[in-house]
């Protein structure tokens, strides 16, 4: 038996995605830049995928650039913005809880002479908007990068307000929406971000495919130059099959959102939390959920078990077939809570006792109930 509760790490490739991709790995293996019919067929498949992704987020197809992964999308946006503005007199504002795919490149920018400020979050893991406004309202021109939803806690950030604040300062704004797309409505026609990163493997496409939304007329400097594919914004012969897979996954997530599939995932997550509380919450505060209860993706439970140590629980859970993560992605070799938990102000004890349980459209009620049984047993041994 194995029960997968780690969908924020990656997701199972959807059978429909595999089916859509297969022809482009077998018979239709042509170069999409070739002018003859077979090449044009491959190009047509890419353009269909571009429309599918654009439709999921309310963009125009020309605003979508396919990339090799979410990390690349983040780097492309940030490096284009930084290079376009120059290191003299440019300020960059990010949140403290960004993924390393935003923190590491902006740290490198700080080392290269840009002014970079990391803004903290409140106790619920949401951006401190007052501090953000203050950081942005410096006299300097600049840009901000604020994630739409956090990968550890699932906490959703106030993107509308972030856009209002950055726009009134005349700044550009990028968002890492990698943990939001496919989990909640992400619409660039409603939220005025200039750049938005997507990664396929977080919503049932394969690993190694992503895209970047670049709003029409936003200045953009390519990070990868060459043959001019993707409108010159990301050169390199396109990975047709994976792009087709990303398009199909986007279509599936649109259908799931429309037909109640995402609500079902949220109900399962709530069932998981309710059952943990019912079975273990005998003493007040023994089971604690971390992060905002109101602003979060519907698929994540981030939960601490007082007195337990996640590092001890994880191998025991794995032994019993439960695949999940520690709520605190401990830095390798260092006994420290994650930067996300530190930013939220969690105690070390609470941080180290937490699990991240993340579901997907493939999760079932039976799996949730069985996982609760196993978690309860392990917690009772570890406490
Ligand atoms: N940003 C966030 C919030 C993520 O969760 C991840 C993946 O874990 C990434 C960026 C990196 O995406 P990829 O694995 O496609 O490079």
- For 100, residues 6+ apart whose C-beta sits below 8 A from its C-beta are none
| CB 157 near ligand 1, within 6 Å | no
- Does pLDDT of 1 surpass 90? no
Average pLDDT over every residue of 270-290: 90
Boundaries of CATH 3.40.640.10 in the chain? 15-257
Written as six digits, the tokens of 165 are 């604040």
How far, in Å, is the centroid of ligand 1 from the Cα of 127? 19
Measure CA of the first residue to CA of the last residue in the chain; give whole Å: 25
| Strand ranges, E, within 43-141 | 64-67, 91-95, 115-119
In ligand 1, which atom is closest to the CA atom of 207? 15
Is 147's C-beta closer than 6 angstroms to any atom of ligand 1?
yes
Q: Are strands 3-4 and 195-199 parallel, antiparallel or unpaired?
A: unpaired
pLDDT at 40: 97
Q: Is 210 in the pocket of ligand 1 (CB under 6 A)?
A: yes
284 pLDDT tier (thresholds 50, 70, 90) = confident
Both structure tokens of 190:
């409603």
Ligand 1 lined by 367 (C-beta under 6 Å): no
Query: So what's the pLDDT on residue 331?
Result: 45
Q: Give start-end residues of each CATH 3.90.1150.10 domain in the chain.
A: 3-12+260-382
How far apart are the C-alpha atoms of 268 and 20, rounded to whole Å?
29
The pLDDT tens digits for 322-366 are 999 997 655 444 567 899 999 999 999 999 999 999 999 999 999
- Site to probe by mutation for ligand 1, drawn from 199, 209, 325 as the one with most ligand atoms within 8 Å of Cβ, is 199
Q: Which two tokens stand for residue 180?
A: 């939001």
Give pLDDT tens digits for 191-247: 999 999 999 999 999 999 999 999 999 999 999 999 999 999 999 999 999 999 999
* Cβ atoms of residues 196 and 177 within 8 Å: yes
Using an 8 Å Cβ cutoff, are 266 and 362 in contact?
no
Q: Which of 121, 123, 168, 170 is nearest to 147 (CA)?
A: 121
CA distances from 182 to 84, 200, 213, 297 (A): 31, 9, 15, 10
Phi-psi region of 307 (alpha: psi -120 to 50; beta: other; left: phi over 0): left
CA pair distance 308, 312, nearest whole angstrom: 8
Mean pLDDT in residue range 258-266: 98
Looking at the structure, give the CATH architecture of the domain made up of residues 15-257: 3-Layer(aba) Sandwich (3.40)
pLDDT at 328: 64
| Band of pLDDT at residue 316, cut at 50, 70 and 90 | very high
What is the dotted CATH code of the domain comprising 3-12+260-382? 3.90.1150.10
Rounded-to-integer distance, Cα 219 and Cα 81, Å? 8
Residues 6+ apart with CB under 8 A from 176: 70, 74, 98, 99, 101, 102, 145, 147, 148, 197
Nearest CA to ligand 1 atom 14: 70
Measure 151 CA to ligand 1 centroid, in angstroms: 8
Q: What is the pLDDT of residues 31-43, one digit of tens each?
A: 999 999 999 999 9
Ligand 1 pocket mutation, candidates 72, 95, 99, 239, criterion most atoms within 8 A of CB? 99
CB of 376 within 8 A of CB of 368? no
Q: What is the pLDDT of residues 92-119, one digit of tens each?
A: 999 999 999 999 999 999 999 999 999 9
pLDDT tens string 28-87 = 999 999 999 999 999 999 999 999 999 999 999 999 999 999 999 999 999 999 999 999
- 150 pLDDT exceeds 60? yes
Q: What is the pLDDT of residue 332?
A: 46
Question: Quick check: CB of 71 below 6 Å from ligand 1?
Answer: yes
Specify whether the backbone of 11 is left (phi greater than 0), alpha (psi in -120 to 50) or beta: beta
DSSP reduced 3-state for 27:
coil
Helix, coil or strand: residue 47:
helix
Ligand 1 pocket, residue 211 CB under 6 Å: no
Nearest protein Cα to ligand 1, atom 5: 151
**Catalytically annotated residues:** 330
Give the residue carrying structure tokens 């037909």: 259
């Amino acid at each position: 038996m194995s029960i997968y509760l780690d969908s924020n790490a990656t997701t199972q490739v959807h059978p429909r995605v595999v089916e859509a991709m297969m022809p482009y790995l077998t018979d239709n293996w042509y170069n999409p830049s070739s002018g003859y019919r077979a090449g044009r067929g491959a190009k047509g498949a890419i353009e269909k995928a571009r429309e599918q992704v654009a439709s999921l987020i309310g963009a125009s197809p020309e605003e979508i650039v396919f990339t090799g992964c979410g990390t690349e999308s983040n780097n492309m946006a940030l490096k284009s913005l930084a290079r376009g503005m120059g290191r003299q007199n440019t300020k960059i504002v990010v949140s403290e809880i960004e993924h390393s795919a935003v923190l590491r490149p902006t740290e490198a920018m700080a080392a290269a002479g840009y002014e970079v400020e990391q803004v903290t979050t409140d106790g619920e893991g949401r951006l401190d908007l007052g501090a953000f406004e203050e950081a942005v309202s410096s006299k300097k021109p600049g840009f901000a990068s604020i994630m739409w939803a956090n990968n550890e806690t699932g906490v959703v950030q106030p993107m509308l307000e972030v856009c209002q604040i950055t726009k009134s300062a005349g700044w550009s704004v990028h968002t890492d929406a990698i943990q939001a797309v496919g989990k909640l409505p992400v619409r660039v026609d409603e939220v005025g971000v200039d750049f938005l990163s997507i990664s396929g493997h977080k919503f049932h496409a394969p690993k190694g495919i992503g895209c970047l939304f670049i709003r029409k007329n936003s200045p953009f400097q390519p990070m990868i130059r060459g043959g001019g594919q993707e409108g010159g914004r990301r050169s390199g012969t396109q990975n047709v099959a994976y792009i087709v897979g990303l398009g199909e996954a986007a279509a599936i997530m649109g259908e799931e959102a429309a037909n109640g599939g995402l609500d079902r995932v949220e109900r399962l997550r709530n069932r998981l939390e309710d059952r943990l509380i019912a079975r273990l919450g005998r003493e007040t505060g023994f089971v604690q959920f971390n992060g905002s209860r109101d602003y979060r993706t519907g698929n994540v439970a981030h939960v601490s078990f007082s007195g337990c140590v996640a590092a001890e629980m994880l191998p025991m859970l794995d032994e019993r077939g439960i695949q999940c993560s520690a709520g605190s992605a401990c830095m390798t070799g260092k006994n420290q809570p994650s930067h996300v938990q530190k930013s939220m102000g969690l105690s070390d004890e609470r941080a180290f006792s937490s699990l991240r349980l993340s579901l997907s459209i493939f999760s079932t009620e039976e799996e949730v109930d069985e996982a609760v049984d196993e978690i309860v047993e392990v917690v009772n041994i570890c406490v």
